[in-house]
Amino acid sequence: MKTHLPAGPRPLPWLGSLPGLLRDPLQFLTGLARKYGDVVPFRIGLQPAILLNDPALIDRVVRDRSFERSDHTRRAMASFLGQGLLSLEGAPHLRHRRLMAPAFHRERIQRYAAVMAEETYHVLGQWKHGETRELRADMMHLTFAIVARSLFSADTSAIAARVDEAVRRVTRILLPSSMLSRLFKFKLPIVYGPAGRAANQQLQSLVRELVRERRAEGVDHGDLLSMLLAARDEDGTALSDDDICAESLSILLAGHDTTAHTMTWAWYLLSEHPALQQRLADEVREVVGEREITFDDLPRFTLADRIVRETLRLYPPAWWADRICAKPSEVGGYRIAPNTMMVISTWVTQRDARWFPEPDRFDPDRFLPDRAASIPDGAYLPFGGGVHICIGNTFALMEARMILAAMAQRFSLQATNAGEVRPQPLVTLGMEQPFPVLLRRRPREAGRAASVAPAG
């Protein structure tokens, strides 16, 4: 076993590599991997860290339960979401995951598909041929409506814009606050400021009120919240209101923010590839004609599925992950000192030419079965891996395919903004600027709608 780590960037006194990481984290991490290789030691303030870019090492670390998410990351997420899956480790994490798992079984997921279709077609019914829409905002409102109905069976359209703004305010603060806290050996609180605190309180109050109302009502609505309220351990212990609020907020963030970003990035890519956009529309109409999409149709949208997966490769919502082992460990033949942070960036690994030829090219067909089989374990982790793989990944993929296919069925979209679109790496990977698109309604296919029956 090697006792000396390979070369990495020279750290600044006290700050380490923090200035570069805060200035442009995607460029900084990409530069580390390209210059120094697959195991790159560096410092974030006083925190020793190693960037991993070898899929085998990444796969090993995310599967090894002795490696846990860093205390800095968990405290940042807990300050926003409470003590839920995104901030828990060990036995409490496994308990919450076990109790939540039934909410994402196939029977439940099938129910959510009807909500997704209804909300999506409601939005598309309001769009008009020839108008320009700000797609990022539209996708935020749509995905919030879907997850709010799936989670709470609630119509929250009146507050969607306020919730979106509250989430944006809070998530803009979390990453820099978490990074700056690594400048000190003692624990610093996450500092939100007046606007951030107000936004955080607004989100907490919204969810707590819905949980209180539902618990008092005592009726099973068949939604995610009903499942969380009914969940019991083997000894009959239920989740507390604090637990349920934390998991509800986690689902709101994961089911709303990440899918909205994925859809916005997908249409950014498709607007640059009109022939592929037409292929997608043809696939959808070949399967369903003009009728609305159902759950049973989704497996037949194979191109739509590949477009979503390729979008997640190029613009992974969870672009950063970290793991720490409290005891001495070995990674890649190197002796790792206790409490050294392993950094994993899907942005870096999923754009590496060794695993994805022509990595910057939008090529959904790289996810055809024969080509996808060559992608090594650990190279493609848009939903994380190991015990922390996203519990709602099936929900998210279904939601993305449903929205993408329905949009392509009804409209073609063309970006109207000039210049480069820049990613914004916060808690999730969004767009730095608005994304306006021009809508063109696709002509109806006479006589075809009636000839295509629902699958199944």
Structure tokens at 426: 């916060």
Half-sphere exposure of 282 (CA within 13 A, CB side): 6
Average pLDDT over residues 135-146: 93
Residue 245 pLDDT more than 60?
A: yes
* Confidence tier at 454 by pLDDT (50, 70, 90): low
* Confidence tier at 304 by pLDDT (50, 70, 90): very high
Pairing of strands 429-431, 341-344: unpaired
Domains and CATH numbers, the chain: 18-451 (1.10.630.10)
- Sequence-ordered list of residues with C-beta below 8 angstroms from that of 221, at least 6 positions apart, any chain: 153, 214
List the single range of 158-162, 354-358, 410-414, 447-451 with lowest mean pLDDT: 447-451
Average pLDDT over residues 431-451: 80
Higher pLDDT, 448 or 282: 282
* Confidence tier at 158 by pLDDT (50, 70, 90): low
> Which of 155-159, 199-203, 344-348 is most confident?
344-348
> pTM for the full model?
0.94
C-alpha dist (Å) from residue 355 to 69, 245, 359, 385: 26, 40, 8, 17
Percent of the chain with pLDDT over 90: 70
Give 112-121 pLDDT, tens digit per residue. 999 999 999 9
Residue 452 pLDDT more than 90?
A: no
C-alpha dist (Å) from residue 142 to 63, 117, 139, 349: 34, 11, 5, 30
The C-alpha atoms of residue 249 and residue 240 are separated, in whole angstroms, by 14
List the single range of 16-30, 121-135, 175-189 with lowest mean pLDDT: 175-189
Structure tokens at 383: 């939903």
Beta bridge partners of 395: none
Average pLDDT over residues 216-232: 89
Amino acid identity, position 278: Q
What was the pLDDT predicted at 202?
84
Average pLDDT over residues 433-452: 77
Average pLDDT over residues 291-305: 97
Give 390-427 pLDDT, tens digit per residue. 998 999 999 999 999 999 999 999 999 867 799 999 98
Q: Sort 279 into a burial class: Cβ within 10 Å, 0-12 / 13-18 / 19+.
A: middle
Sign of CA dihedral 387, 389, 390, 394: negative
What was the pLDDT predicted at 450?
42
Average pLDDT over residues 292-315: 98
In degrees rounded to 5, what are phi and psi of residue 53?
A: -135, 15
Higher pLDDT, 246 or 196: 246
The C-alpha atoms of residue 17 and residue 336 are separated, in whole angstroms, by 19
Average pLDDT over residues 40-61: 97
List the single range of 26-30, 177-181, 366-370 with lowest mean pLDDT: 177-181
Structure tokens at 420: 């480069």
Residue 271 pLDDT more than 80?
A: yes
Residue 111 pLDDT more than 60?
A: yes
Average pLDDT over residues 217-235: 89
Query: DSSP letter at 238?
Result: B
Rg (the chain; Cα; Å):
22
What was the pLDDT predicted at 449?
45
The C-alpha atoms of residue 442 and residue 408 are separated, in whole angstroms, by 8
What was the pLDDT predicted at 275?
97
- Residue-averaged pLDDT of the chain: 91
In degrees rounded to 5, what are phi and psi of residue 12?
A: -75, 150
DSSP of 349-396, one letter per residue?
A: HTT-TTTSSSTTS--GGGGSHHHHTTSPTTS--TT--GGGS-TTHHHH
Higher pLDDT, 365 or 204: 365
Query: DSSP letter at 257?
Result: I
| Cβ–Cβ < 8 Å for 331, 50 | yes
Give 124-133 pLDDT, tens digit per residue. 999 999 999 9
What was the pLDDT predicted at 451?
41
